[in-house]
Amino acid sequence: MKITRLTTFRVPPRWTLLKIETDEGVTGWGEAVIEGRARTVEAAVHELSELLVGQDPARINDLWSTMYRGGFYRGGPILMSAIAGIDQALWDIKGKVLDKPVYELLGGLVRDRMKTYSWVGGDRPGDVIAGIGKLRQAGFDTFKLNGTEEFGMLDSTRAIDAAVARIGEIRAAFGTQIEFGIDFHGRVAAPMAKPLLRELEQFRPLFVEEPVLPEQYEHYAHLADATFIPLAAGERMYSRFEFKHVFERGGLAIVQPDLSHAGGITECVKIAAMAEAYDVAIAPHCPLGPVALAACLALDFVAYNAVIQEQSMGIHYNEGAELLDYVVNKDDFHLVDGYIAPLPGPGLGVVVDEERVVEASKGAPDWRNPLWRHADGSVAEW
Ligand SMILES: O=C(O)[C@H](O)[C@@H](O)[C@@H](O)[C@H](O)CO
Ligand SMILES: [Mg+2]
């Protein structure tokens, strides 16, 4: 079998679906995107296709090494997201050829169902109480919200109190009937992370995510020494070669690689194994589409230390399309009490509605994240 063509479809809300075709009619799908730089990753995919067309899609490990090592420069969000989407599609092809779900090819199920969580509150953690109430009726009991709005390197007591009050409202409204992670989203700098974590400790969040920016990863260990709140990060780390620094220094209780940013299934299976060796849990990041989620689930069902899965149903980014809009086998993604069963189909287990994808790709908007500024006019981390 030979790879014949790679086609990319930038579609609302902000995803890029990649289709890899072969000379025997088997096609695989992946999701190759960095949110906000879709065209850049798309260009990287088509540059990498020079290494793929004419090759045997079964040789995923060699194709992965060729893409990662063959171009001299390596790593980072653009190249690793391009490789990730291609890797997902190659695993999809392999599973379809062998008529097996990817998790079977990776050693079979380690669990019968996977816990998921749902976002509430949006960019500016607004009315999360109503959001949680609504989602609880859908069976969710675990949520994630942004912990702050713009936050200065040295911010006021009032800013800390506002963040704390919002979390306090959640516990007051729902007690311990629910769990929630708080995403600092990299908005909080090292000087403010410790005081903010201290004030939030009383509410026992499930985790605090990106407590500082990923390039400040050496602070994770210090922050972990100062708080009992489990710390999580990883969506802006792109390979096992980055994660190793975090494992060696410690500080993260949970790592959150994104299966569409950190090199795909091939790479994230390795990251999960490294994490387990350090007794670190894995909770794959996935604010994206159905193929990215299916790739996460392929990992979740084979990694012992996978603890919870982000999924984007109803997420504040999904304007113009919802998680399952491009999926034919929607029922396979049905959640029961927030849990999802293994996708039964071969490969990644997603039947893509190609006609809908092609239609949606016509004139797809270029999504950009907001550019925030502090009161003094300086750029604020979004
Ligand atoms: O935890 C999450 O889902 C992420 O922080 C998410 O908000 C961002 O990755 C966003 O998708 C970037 O455009
Ligand atoms: Mg996050």
Give the CATH number of the domain where residue 61 resides: 3.30.390.10
Q: Are residues 296 and 169 both part of a single domain?
A: yes
Q: Are residues 82 and 208 both part of a single domain?
A: no
For residue 183, say whether it is annotated as part of any ligand binding site.
yes
For the chain, residues with pLDDT lower than 70 are none
Q: Which of 103, 134, 162 is the last residue of a domain?
A: 103
Task: Note the pLDDT tens digit of each residue in 337-347.
Answer: 999 999 999 99
Residue 380 lies in a domain: no
Q: Please give the distance of CA 284 from its chain centroid, rounded to a whole number.
A: 5
pLDDT at position 124, please? Answer: 81
The angle formed by the CA atoms of residues 89, 357 and 100, to the nearest 5 degrees, is 35
Residue 209 lies in a domain: yes
Give residue ranges with CB within 6 A of ligand 1. Answer: 35-36, 183, 185, 235, 285, 287, 310, 317, 369
166 phi, psi to nearest 5 deg: -60, -45
Task: Determine how β-strand 179-183 pairs with β-strand 372-373.
Answer: unpaired
Q: Are residues 170 and 268 both part of a single domain?
A: yes
Cα R_g (the chain), whole angstroms:
20
Q: Are residues 38 and 69 both part of a single domain?
A: yes
Q: Are residues 90 and 108 both part of a single domain?
A: no
Q: Which of 103, 130, 146 is the last residue of a domain?
A: 103
Residue 292 lies in a domain: yes
Q: Are residues 43 and 189 both part of a single domain?
A: no
Q: Are residues 148 and 292 both part of a single domain?
A: yes
Q: Are residues 37 and 9 both part of a single domain?
A: yes
Task: Note the pLDDT tens digit of each residue in 243-261.
Answer: 999 999 999 999 999 999 9
* ipTM beyond cut 0.95: yes
Ligand sitting nearest the alpha carbon of 144 = 1
Q: What is the mean pLDDT of the chain?
A: 97
Enter the tokens of residue 89. 């599609």
Residues 208, 218: Cα–Cα separation, whole Å: 16
CA of 236 to the centre of ligand 2 (A): 9
Q: Which of 103, 134, 151 is the last residue of a domain?
A: 103
CATH number at residue 220: 3.20.20.120
pLDDT at position 127, please? Answer: 78
For residue 161, say whether it is annotated as part of any ligand binding site.
no
Residue 358 lies in a domain: no
Taking the CA atoms of 73, 75, 79 and 80 in sequence, report the sign of the dihedral they define. Answer: positive
Residue 376 lies in a domain: no
Residue 183 lies in a domain: yes
Ligand sitting nearest the alpha carbon of 311 = 1
pLDDT at position 125, please? Answer: 73
User: What is the span of the domain harbouring residue 130?
Assistant: 104-347
CA of 116 to the centre of ligand 2 (A): 15
Is 222 catalytic? The answer is no
At residue 183, the 3 state secondary structure works out as strand
Q: Are residues 49 and 74 both part of a single domain?
A: yes
The total of structural domains in the chain comes to 2
Q: Are residues 12 and 109 both part of a single domain?
A: no
Q: Are residues 89 and 115 both part of a single domain?
A: no
Q: Which of 285, 316, 334, 374 is catalytic?
A: 285
SS3 helix, strand, coil % of the chain, rounded to 5?
Answer: 40, 15, 45
Contact 167, 120 (CB under 8 A): no
Residue 352 lies in a domain: no
For residue 337, say whether it is annotated as part of any ligand binding site.
no
Contact 87, 299 (CB under 8 A): no
Residue 382 lies in a domain: no
Q: Are residues 133 and 196 both part of a single domain?
A: yes
